[in-house]
């Protein structure tokens, strides 16, 4: 009888393991649903902005007014910010990001995109690598700073892959093996000397008039 029950016990163990893995991968959704049932209000995420031709034209027109010194600062929407980010990223990085979108947070931007997981270093991902599909959604969060004339840096401090937040100590090796560096360079429009990111918009500052 014990031998006959062995396959069913093994199947039961596999089901339990699968349930644990799924609960871990989708714990954000499970927690959100649980809080909703418990009557807790879940704060809605900031609206995402996506690159577009009109948004890019508007962003260029606004930043050009900063370059010419006609205004001290301009405010860009999430879509305008996404358009500048998409154009300003190194082409080798931009090619790896599909369906790019940007959310404006307090002092940081969150960039979301679909990536081909075949390009990701499996060893740096650990056990998560076994659960990945061919393409997965990635969300990277961090501040953007101006480091020189026409040069900016996006420092990634949080990384979420397929709905799973990666440990801090796993982010650096993953970025370095994928992109060759942890801080990604971004082309900044001429004349912009400082950037302040808020949920209501990205503020670009130019040189102060005397």
Q: Comparing C-alpha atoms, which of 102, 125, 126 is closest to residue 113?
A: 102
pTM: 0.72
Tell which phi-psi region holds residue 39, choosing left (phi > 0), alpha (psi between -120 and 50) or beta.
Answer: left
> Mind listing the pLDDT tens digit for each residue in 40-71?
444 455 788 999 999 999 999 999 999 998 99
User: What would the two tokens of residue 187 be?
Assistant: 């082309």
> Mind listing the pLDDT tens digit for each residue in 189-207?
999 999 999 999 999 999 7
Three-point CA angle 164, 42, 26, nearest 5°: 25
Sketch the domain layout of the chain as residue ranges. Answer: 2-37, 53-206
User: What would the two tokens of residue 196 be?
Assistant: 């302040």
> Mind listing the pLDDT tens digit for each residue in 130-159?
878 888 898 999 999 999 989 999 999 998
53-206 sits in which CATH class?
A: alpha beta
Per-residue pLDDT band at 167 (split at 50, 70, 90): confident
How far apart (Å, rounded) are the C-alpha atoms in residues 141 and 62? 25
């Amino acid at each position: 009888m014990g031998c006959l029950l062995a396959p069913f016990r093994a199947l039961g163990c596999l089901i339990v393991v699968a349930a644990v893995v799924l609960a871990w991968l989708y714990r954000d959704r499970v927690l959100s649903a649980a809080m909703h049932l418990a009557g807790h209000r879940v704060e809605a995420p900031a609206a995402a902005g996506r690159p577009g031709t009109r948004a890019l034209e508007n962003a260029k027109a606004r930043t050009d007014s900063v370059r010419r010194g006609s205004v001290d600062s301009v405010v860009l929407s999430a879509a305008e910010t996404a358009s500048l980010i998409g154009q300003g990223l190194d082409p080798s990085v931009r090619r790896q990001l599909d369906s790019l979108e940007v959310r404006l947070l307090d002092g940081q931007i969150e960039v979301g995109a679909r990536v081909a997981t075949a390009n990701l270093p499996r060893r740096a991902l650990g056990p998560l690598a076994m659960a990945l599909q061919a393409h997965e959604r990635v969300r990277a969060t961090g501040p953007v700073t101006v480091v020189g004339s026409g040069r900016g840096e996006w420092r990634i401090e949080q990384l979420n892959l397929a709905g799973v937040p990666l440990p801090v100590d796993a982010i650096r090796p993953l970025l370095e093996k994928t992109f060759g560096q942890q801080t990604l360079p971004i082309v900044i429009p001429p004349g912009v000397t400082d950037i302040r990111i808020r949920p209501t918009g990205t503020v670009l500052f130019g040189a102060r008039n005397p």
